[in-house]
Amino acid sequence: MGFPVVECSADGSFVLSKPPKTGGLVSFGTVGEQLVYEIGDPRRYLLPDVICDFSQVAIQELPGVEGGAVRVTGAKGSSPSHHYKVCATYMDGFRATAVCPVGGPRAAEKARRTADSIIKRTRRMFKQLGLEDFNSVNIQVLGAEDTYGPNARRKDSREAVIWMAVQHKQKKALEVFSREVAPAGTGMAPGLTGIVGGRPRVSPVLKPFFFLHPKSQIKVDIHVAGQLVQSLTEPDAPEQKQEEAPPTCDQDVPDADLPSGPHTYRLEDLAYARSGDKGDSANIGVIARHPLYFPYLKKHLTSSVVEDYFSHLIQPGEHNAVTRYTLPGIHGFNFVLRSSLGGGGVASLRSDPQGKAYGQMLLDLKLTGLPDLKSLVD
């Protein structure tokens, strides 16, 4: 696939294309999905040397270019933040993951019983050895749509995969778990074809956490040839209000006069989606396939609707966990789902620890009470 070529202009706009005959596609959809990828608040995307406002960015396809090209305009920048973005990690015990395919009738049921049996047996052994219980256990049956929770449509399949991930404070305990997974290949449910990758490996959990740290509290020493030549500190910020998100703009307010109707649409019929992670938060970017769909999505695809759809994946007790930001320049939204990845990254025991599938899952959401939107664009 061809890497992109960017031709920048003095006014901050640019043309994005790619070398000819290299595969791939540059279009409104592909560039728009990349724009909404993991940006949090699009009005205040913090970078080391600038704060970017992407909310009014517009993407225009340019005709007649092999492989596609777009002109991008409307990005704005302001002075950088008075804080550093810090990503840190700490040791938080150990983890192990077993992945076992199961085939045949009632595969999902056999997968669940196999996983439950292994966990129960291991817990009995922990008591005998004087070990504490697991810190956490995550069992999913891939193929039975466990990730979808109450939104699942398939309850059973003739093919399923056990995803069994566990965490414990002691490495010794997970070595016991790893040994007890091995007999599943020969002595448990018929149709269990093996253990992917062999016995589960025990690895440390490096749990990430993120925060903003005032630049004024950091001293930078510059050494040349072993000699200190300069020490730098940033003065205290005159106002911390610069760190606050701008107030809700007019584009966030739904149009109360939109007509309703008897039609139901899957979100995929009306929008693109792209998702990813920032620590334990998932970002889902949604872009209307046509500008005329945008006001209807604004009205019906609210933060509360998205939070309800993903409630089974959000940490219990997390209220108002979803924030919606608008990008009217591309007729899109960015939803930020806090505490929705089970810790995120290597700290998560889920099969999708970075929320890569969240956008695709959301595309199955049904929006009801709409007029005939297809006729608007025909």
Give the pLDDT confidence of 116-126 residue by residue, as tens digits: 999 999 999 99
- For residue 37, pLDDT beyond 60: yes
User: So what's the pLDDT on residue 15?
Assistant: 97
Split at pLDDT 50, 70, 90, the class of 150 is very high
Average pLDDT over residues 313-328: 94
What proportion of the chain, given as a percentage, has pLDDT over 70?
Answer: 95
In this structure, what token pair is assigned to residue 189?
A: 């449910």
Split at pLDDT 50, 70, 90, the class of 243 is very low
pTM of the model: 0.89
| Residue 68: Cβ within 10 Å count | 19
User: So what's the pLDDT on residue 244?
Assistant: 44
Phi, psi for 270 (deg, rounded to 5) = -115, -15
Spell out a b/e string for 312-325, using b for 16 or more CB atoms within 10 Å of the CB, else e: ebbeeeeeebbbbb
State the average pLDDT for the chain.
Answer: 91
In DSSP terms, 192 is beta-bridged to 102
What proportion of the chain, given as a percentage, has pLDDT over 90?
Answer: 76
- For residue 163, pLDDT beyond 60: yes
3-state SS of the chain?
CCCCEEEECCCCCEEEECCCCCCCCCCHHHHHHHHCCCCCCCCCEEECCEEEECCCCEEEECCCCCCCCEEEECCEEECCCCEEEEEEEEEEEEEEEEEEEEECCCHHHHHHHHHHHHHHHHHHHHHHHCCCCCCEEEEEEECCCHHHHHHCCCCCCCEEEEEEEEEECCHHHHHHHHHHHCCHHHHCCCCECCCCCCCCCCEEEEEEEEEEEEHHHCCEEEEECCEEEEEECCCCCCCHHHHCCCCCCHHHCCCCCCCCCCEEEEHHHHEEEEEEEECCEEEEEEEECCHHHHHHHHHHCCHHHHHHHCCCCCCCCCCCCEEEEEEHHHCEEEEEECCCCCCCHHHCCCCCCCCCCHHHHHCCCEEEEECCCHHHHC
Higher-confidence position of 153 and 116? 116
Split at pLDDT 50, 70, 90, the class of 345 is confident
Average pLDDT over residues 299-308: 96
User: So what's the pLDDT on residue 260?
Assistant: 92
Give CA–CA dist 373/359, Å, rounded: 22
- For residue 245, pLDDT beyond 50: no
27-41, 233-247, 354-368: lowest mean pLDDT where?
233-247
**Alpha carbon 273 to chain centroid, angstroms:** 11
136-140, 145-149, 343-347, 364-368: lowest mean pLDDT where?
343-347
- For residue 2, pLDDT beyond 80: no
* Domains of the chain, start order: 5-80 (no CATH), 89-207 (3.30.70), 253-377 (no CATH)
Average pLDDT over residues 334-341: 96
Phi, psi for 57 (deg, rounded to 5) = -65, 135
Higher-confidence position of 327 and 253? 327
pLDDT in tens, 56-101: 999 999 999 999 999 999 999 999 999 999 989 999 999 999 999 9
Average pLDDT over residues 25-40: 93
Average pLDDT over residues 148-153: 92
User: So what's the pLDDT on residue 252?
Assistant: 63
- For residue 246, pLDDT beyond 70: no
Split at pLDDT 50, 70, 90, the class of 378 is confident
User: So what's the pLDDT on residue 251?
Assistant: 53
User: So what's the pLDDT on residue 221?
Assistant: 94
